Chains A and B, each alone.
Chain A
Amino acid sequence: MRYVDAGYAVALSTLFVYALSLILRRRRWERAYRATTPPADPQSAAGRGERS
């Protein structure tokens, strides 16, 4: 059974780690996108005290 258990453990843990890395990468890029993109609505930027 140890080969079977190892097979299941390797498959599930690899997919879990890869999925987690994708979530973290996606969040990092979303932060970078928000930081580099000006707000769509200039009113909201002005409302927050930013220069529009």
Chain B
Amino acid sequence: MSTVPRVGPRPRWLDPIGVLGVVALGLTVWLGLWITPPDRTQGDLARLLYIHPPIATVALYWVGIVAAGGSLLYLWPRTRSLFWDRLAASAVEVGAVFSALTLVTGSLWGRPAWGTWWTWDARLTSTALLLILEIGYLALRRVPADAAVRAKRCAVAALLIAVDIPLVHFSVDWWNTLHQGGTFIDPGFQIHASASMSWTFLVGLVAFSLIFVWLLGERYRIEVLQDAVGDQLLEVSLAERWSEDAALVGAGAPTAAGGPGHGEGSP
């Protein structure tokens, strides 16, 4: 009888979220490229506003909340569960994709707006650092270890990554940067854009957020299946080893390794 818990069915809510995300993304592209007017100062370049800040919002805040929150809840003894560890790991992988996209779309905006693809500006550098730390987290996760050890190690790493998030957010206030501060929404939550631009930005934010939730759900499912297959294979190999051992004991031969009932330290 297997002691490995069975994996439940794929959640039903996942695909509707994905479909909604794709529809909202299509709407963002249509509104962003064809419907909204060009900006007074930046002209058509301002159309990147509908994808770059929403992607950055997901990369920074949504990923930060899920990864740091999940890691904290794993480290907290009362809420410790591999669910939180898997959720945080899934968020970091999806986050690495969004961080890379933040840098690429930002670079494509920076070249015509600032005249350079890249500059060692505080906002850009701290965002690049975020991507490097996320890749480091994913590498750490591949280091072979017991599930609990790996989870604890990765939770600490995720919390260290989270330190970079306020650094990215406040970099435009703390340092004199080429990257502009909050020009679209100011600290008082006043929007400085026309209604069509504001709505398109909002649709873009919803679209990328829904896509993030769908990707997170799919990635989490993979994490659960990977763990279940690993546990199942381990159980099968242990059972084979014990049955080989039992056969050797039955034949009167010395055993090479301990199994249940006849291993080292067994009563």
Contact = CB atoms under 8 A, between A and B. Distances in A.
B163 interface: no
B225 A30 contact: yes
Contacts of B29: 8, 12
Interface in A1-48: 1, 3-4, 6-8, 10-12, 14-15, 18-19, 22-23, 25-26, 29-30, 32-33, 36-38, 40
Counting contact residues on chain B (CB < 8 A from A), the size range is 35 or more
A29 B2 CA distance: 19
B222 A29 contact: yes
B164 to A, nearest CB: 22
A26 B104 contact: no
A10 B18 CA distance: 19
B128 interface: no
A8 B228 CA distance: 38
B236 interface: yes
B97 A14 contact: yes
Contacts of A10: 101, 104-105, 108
Interface of B: 2, 4, 6-7, 18, 25, 29, 32-33, 44-45, 47-48, 51-52, 55, 97, 100-101, 104-105, 108-109, 111-112, 211, 214-215, 218-219, 221-222, 225-226, 228-229, 232-233, 236
28 contacts: A3-B108, A4-B45, A6-B108, A7-B48, A7-B52, A7-B105, A8-B29, A10-B101, A10-B104, A10-B105, A11-B101, A12-B25, A14-B101, A15-B97, A18-B97, A18-B215, A19-B214, A19-B215, A22-B218, A26-B221, A26-B222, A29-B222, A33-B228, A33-B229, A36-B229, A37-B2, A37-B6, A38-B2
